[in-house]
């Protein structure tokens, strides 16, 4: 049975249709992938991964600004992969959703904003996954049940460093001082 399935997949791929058969999608939580936090704090993304055919096994994730490199880096902080180390398997016509939880290490990954960082970075969350014709959780699974390896999904994402509360307080005090001084000016 597995052999027949594998052959069918192989024939589809031979005609370049395996890519068409897949319309796997990745969406981030929050929608649009825009997250923010104070400098020195950790933020992160949840996600929903939808798979159309076969069995998708997540193998890594990263946050990339510009071209996708190994590993990616950016000027605002450090990304940590949560999805890869988990064993996330998404069957055909199904999806998996995880919220970001920095304690449970769930979600797509965390982002530690550098202390003192300001501004924002715009990029993509990049997910790699392998496709198998049989679920790796199936006792009959064999490592040769490969459909394709090293597949990529991307979703737009951004991180913004917001001023820390102490900085906001300082700013407010400064503004109040300015207003007071203006009131006391003659005329």
Q: Which residues bind another protein (CB under 8 A)?
A: 57-60, 67-71, 81, 84-85, 87, 128, 130, 136, 141-143, 146, 149-150
Closest approach of another protein to the CB of residue 124, in Å: 13
Q: Which is nearer to another protein, 40 or 136 (CB)?
A: 136
Helix (H/G/I), strand (E/B), else coil: 172: helix
Walk across the sheet containing 34-38 and list its strands. 34-38, 146-162, 119-132, 55-64, 89-90
Q: Which is nearer to another protein, 83 or 161 (CB)?
A: 83
Q: Which is nearer to another protein, 143 or 187 (CB)?
A: 143
Cβ atoms 145, 6 nearer than 8 A = yes
Q: Residue 95: which of 48, 37, 131, 148 has the closest Cα?
A: 48
Closest approach of another protein to the CB of residue 84, in Å: 4
Q: Which is nearer to another protein, 12 or 68 (CB)?
A: 68
Closest approach of another protein to the CB of residue 94, in Å: 18
Q: What torsion, rounded to 10 degrees, do the Cα atoms 146, 16, 84, 107 define?
A: -130
Closest approach of another protein to the CB of residue 87, in Å: 6
Its sign, for the CA torsion 39, 40, 46, 47, is: positive
């Amino acid at each position: 049975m597995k052999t027949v399935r594998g052959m069918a997949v192989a024939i589809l791929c031979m005609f370049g249709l395996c890519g068409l058969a897949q319309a796997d999608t990745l969406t981030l939580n929050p929608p649009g992938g825009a997250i923010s936090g104070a400098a020195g704090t950790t933020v992160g993304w949840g996600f929903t991964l939808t798979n159309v055919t076969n069995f998708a096994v997540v193998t890594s994730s990263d946050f990339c600004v510009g071209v996708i490199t190994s590993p990616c880096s950016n000027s605002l902080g450090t990304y940590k992969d949560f999805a890869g180390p988990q064993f996330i398997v998404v069957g055909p016509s199904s999806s998996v959703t995880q919220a970001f939880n920095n304690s449970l290490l769930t979600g797509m990954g965390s982002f530690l904003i550098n202390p003192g960082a300001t501004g924002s970075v715009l990029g993509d969350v990049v997910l790699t996954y392998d496709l198998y014709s049989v679920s790796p959780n199936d006792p009959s699974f064999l490592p040769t049940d490969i459909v394709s390896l090293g597949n990529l999904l991307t979703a737009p994402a951004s991180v913004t460093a917001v001023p820390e509360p102490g900085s906001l307080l300082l700013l407010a005090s400064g503004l109040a001082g300015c207003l007071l001084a203006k009131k006391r000016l003659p005329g």
